[in-house]
Chains A and B, each alone.
Chain A
Amino acid sequence: MLNELTNKLSLTLFNNDTFKAYFSPFSNKPVAVLMGEMFAATVVAIAPENNDMYSLTLTITGKVNTQSFTFQPGQYVELQVKQNGRYIKRPFTISSSLAQLQQDKTITLTIKKQSAGRITPWLVDAVSQGDLLAISPAKGDFVLHACLPADASQQVKKEVLFIAGGSGITPFHSLLLSHVADYPNINFSLLYYARTQQHVLHDDLVALEIDQANFSLKLLHSERDGHCSLAHLHGITTDLNNSAIYICGPNSMMDNTQALLLEIGLSGDAIHLEQFGLASFNNVDINVARNVSFTTTNKNIVVSEVNQQTLLTLAEDNAVPAKYGCRIGICQECKCKKVSGVVYNSQTKTYSDTGEEDIQACISVPVTDVVINL
């Protein structure tokens, strides 16, 4: 009530929604942190894991909607950085345990450098200890509770199988370090595929296997052992049919593994997949069908590969209300928020970033699957 009144006063006196917003230019903190929309994340350490992965450890402070930061293992956060004067968000999975957050107030994000990415290769050199970044509340449903009944203590013996490919290890690292000791009546197994010598984060997992009877680990070398096979599966668990299975890795690996599991008669409900990261632009095939999701109107439109219409036309053709003006990219009346995906700007002949930003619907053609706030 009081809050509402102060905000009304701020709007009247200073044409800003809050007094904080009016004074925000005097602060060096990220605007989203000042406004209480994101948590403050101070860089504690940034350390390489191998040639193309590194871990970023952050101290999390502040509150969003009066809540302190918390997460369920397996979830991700959006990390906001400022690159060349511009705030950019990217989703990264938390690789650290719940205990680490409780003891040190820190989380660790283990990040893969996308070869043509704008952020991940740059970030490792751009940030240093003490820098202040911002993170969103934790999101995602790749969590253990997805396979447990509400009351876990009543649980009979249960098998949980994790299958990781390359950098897809990150959610499992967090899940295992957080949960194995707490759920003695669950048998956890992990099949971890990576190129030889590239099994990042495996030290903690090896130690965990020695400590805990209910966890077994198998490190596989993709050059030597190939893709996930029935032999690998049976080698680690005896009760595949009663297992909840979680898969995270490159898209092709997830597709193949899922197909294999369905083939041997497992139910789709038992399989949990995590699509991690957004396609970086060099992987984009422009001549494919794309999904355009309009969030406000809750419409999902499949755009055929030959369809090169702008988002404004697509919205109008599908009865999605959209503001517009000049329709030639001058007046900005059609500006709307793109949540994710790449669009082509037909006027500047450039491609957008993959993350959240404002775009002009009248001159933007979807290139990948895109999510638009319309």
Chain B
Amino acid sequence: MAELNKELNKELNKNFGKKLNEEQLEQLAIDLDGVKAKAMKQVGSTDERYIKKIVRLQRSLEIAGRICLVLGFMSLYFWGVGVLLLSASKILDNMEIGHNVLHGQYDWMNDPTLNSQTFEWDNACSSESWKRVHNYEHHTYTNIVGKDRDFGYGLLRLSDDFSWRLRNSWQFVTYLVLSTLFQWGIAFHEMAGERVFFGKKKEGRGSHVDVEQLKKVFYSKSTRQILKDYVIFPLLAGPFFVMVLLGNLAANLLRNFWTSTIIFCGHFPTEVYTFTEKECENESRGHWYYRQILGSANLTGPKWFHILTGHLSCQVEHHLFPEVPAHRYVEMSKEVQVIAAKYGIAYNTGSFFSQYASVVQRVLYFSFPVGKVTGKKAALYPRF
């Protein structure tokens, strides 16, 4: 057995990193479709109980958190706990619940409170706009430079596909600002692409929604969010207005840092591939799968960590199977890794700290006016 494994590994190493041919891509699609079909067959009351449990947890954390913030007048300790509970609730709402529900992972339940068409989350970005930019643009055109605007968010230079500009020299600071204001960044993301408020619209960039509609939805959602955390809940606390307002602000910031960090860890560690439009014209399903594996990166960690990331710690599996209930990704990743190894496809995974360090490395590296990446570095920032 050991001998066989050795042989197999030798064979795999020989093929490792080689581009797959059409035949292999076809086979890859069949293999991965099989993993998906197997998981979907098991989807049922387990998933229903799971997501309902998470929603109950989120609601309990939110209520407890908001109460603790008011109790902060007795001891600052309460205030601190309140911030942590409320931010945990917001993180669950945005990631394990919101992000996944909006992908339609629970639509099969026919439950109107967990339906992708009607769900709204605790985030400045309206779920409608999120679905268009994230579900459609990002998930369809993952890491295709010029089509997937999530690659750098139009603010950061993260590969040598973009030429260096002066503003890239301080892009690490830009990145920190983006992380701090992350929910506003994504709320603004679609309108930024459409150049709604400033800048000139790129030619040939078609839009599904007219600009007035975008503005209307943006203002109505963001007004509600501001009213909630910075006016109504603080007012309900009466004399403790400021304490509650600051608590809500802190919880929002913690959520922003966490979501931004996890999302950056999913796509921008070193060794994640970028693609050009040309390579992906009329691509087969196999090639789409191939690109999803090469363009995403995983994080390892305990169960609670996976839950708090909304299972985006399994970014590879999420990109392969966006409609499969996310709590199944950890289990599915075992099979996906075997398949990736079979075809010699690089499967990017690592601990939170090592992946995040490499994200920082990428942001810093491309802030310098380096041109085309060559030599040893090319392996860190590969282009397909």
Binding site for B on A (CB under 8 A): 9, 11-13, 15-17, 21-26, 31-32, 35, 37, 84-88, 323-326, 328, 330-333, 335, 337, 348, 356-358, 360
A85-B47, A86-B110 known; A325-B323 Cβ under 8 A: no
CA distance A43 to B15 in the complex (A): 62
Q: Is the beta-carbon distance between A15 and B140 smaller than 8 angstroms? A: no
Please tell me if B296 contacts chain A, counting CB pairs below 8 Å.
no
Q: With CB as the reference atom, state the residue of chain A lying closest to B93.
A: A15
Choose one: A16, A17, A331; the contact of B136 (CB below 8 Å). A331
CA distance A15 to B285 in the complex (A): 37
Q: Is the beta-carbon distance between B45 and A85 smaller than 8 angstroms? A: yes
Please tell me if B189 contacts chain A, counting CB pairs below 8 Å.
no
Choose one: B48, B107, B117, B132; the contact of A325 (CB below 8 Å). B132
Q: Is the beta-carbon distance between A25 and B109 smaller than 8 angstroms? A: no
CA distance A35 to B117 in the complex (A): 17
Q: Is the beta-carbon distance between B140 and A335 smaller than 8 angstroms? A: no
Q: Is the beta-carbon distance between B140 and A326 smaller than 8 angstroms? A: yes
Contact with A along B125-148 (1 / 0, CB 8 A): 000000110011001100000000
Choose one: B46, B113, B135; the contact of A331 (CB below 8 Å). B135
Q: Is the beta-carbon distance between A32 and B112 smaller than 8 angstroms? A: yes
Choose one: A26, A324, A358; the contact of B115 (CB below 8 Å). A358
- Distance in angstroms from A372 CB to nearest chain B CB is 14
**What's the count of A-B pairs with C-beta under 8 Å?**
106
Given contacts A12-B228, A31-B113, 8 further A-B contacts (CB under 8 A): A23-B59, A31-B111, A85-B45, A85-B47, A324-B208, A335-B116, A358-B117, A360-B104
Q: Is the beta-carbon distance between A21 and B113 smaller than 8 angstroms? A: yes
Q: Is the beta-carbon distance between A25 and B131 smaller than 8 angstroms? A: no
- Distance in angstroms from B338 CB to nearest chain A CB is 22
21 A–B contact pairs at CB < 8 A?
A: A17-B118, A22-B59, A23-B59, A25-B113, A26-B59, A31-B112, A31-B113, A85-B44, A324-B208, A325-B208, A328-B140, A330-B322, A331-B135, A331-B140, A332-B103, A332-B135, A333-B132, A333-B135, A337-B117, A356-B110, A358-B107
Choose one: A11, A87, A332; the contact of B116 (CB below 8 Å). A332
Please tell me if B227 contacts chain A, counting CB pairs below 8 Å.
yes
Please tell me if B377 contacts chain A, counting CB pairs below 8 Å.
no
Choose one: B104, B111, B288; the contact of A335 (CB below 8 Å). B104
Rank and list the top 4 A-B pairs by shortest CB-CB distance, nearest first: A85-B48, A325-B136, A85-B45, A84-B44
CA distance A31 to B48 in the complex (A): 13
Residues in chain B near residue A88, CB distance under 8 A: 110
- Distance in angstroms from B53 CB to nearest chain A CB is 8
Q: Is the beta-carbon distance between B46 and A25 smaller than 8 angstroms? A: no
Q: With CB as the reference atom, state the residue of chain B lying closest to A87.
A: B110
Choose one: B55, B132, B140; the contact of A330 (CB below 8 Å). B140
Choose one: B37, B113, B117; the contact of A16 (CB below 8 Å). B113
Q: Is the beta-carbon distance between A335 and B55 smaller than 8 angstroms? A: no
Q: Is the beta-carbon distance between A332 and B104 smaller than 8 angstroms? A: yes
- Distance in angstroms from B262 CB to nearest chain A CB is 21
Q: Is the beta-carbon distance between A357 and B131 smaller than 8 angstroms? A: no
Choose one: A22, A85, A332; the contact of B109 (CB below 8 Å). A85
Residue from the set B37, B56, B104, B115 with the largest chain A CB neighbour count within 10 Å: B104
Residues in chain A near residue B117, CB distance under 8 A: 335, 337, 358
Q: Is the beta-carbon distance between A12 and B45 smaller than 8 angstroms? A: no
CA distance A323 to B132 in the complex (A): 10
Contact with A along B86-122 (1 / 0, CB 8 A): 0000000000000000011001111111011110111
Q: With CB as the reference atom, state the residue of chain A lying closest to B229.
A: A13
Please tell me if B40 contacts chain A, counting CB pairs below 8 Å.
yes
Please tell me if B19 contacts chain A, counting CB pairs below 8 Å.
no
Q: Is the beta-carbon distance between A11 and B55 smaller than 8 angstroms? A: no
CA distance A84 to B42 in the complex (A): 10
Please tell me if B233 contacts chain A, counting CB pairs below 8 Å.
yes
Choose one: A9, A16, A328, A330; the contact of B120 (CB below 8 Å). A16
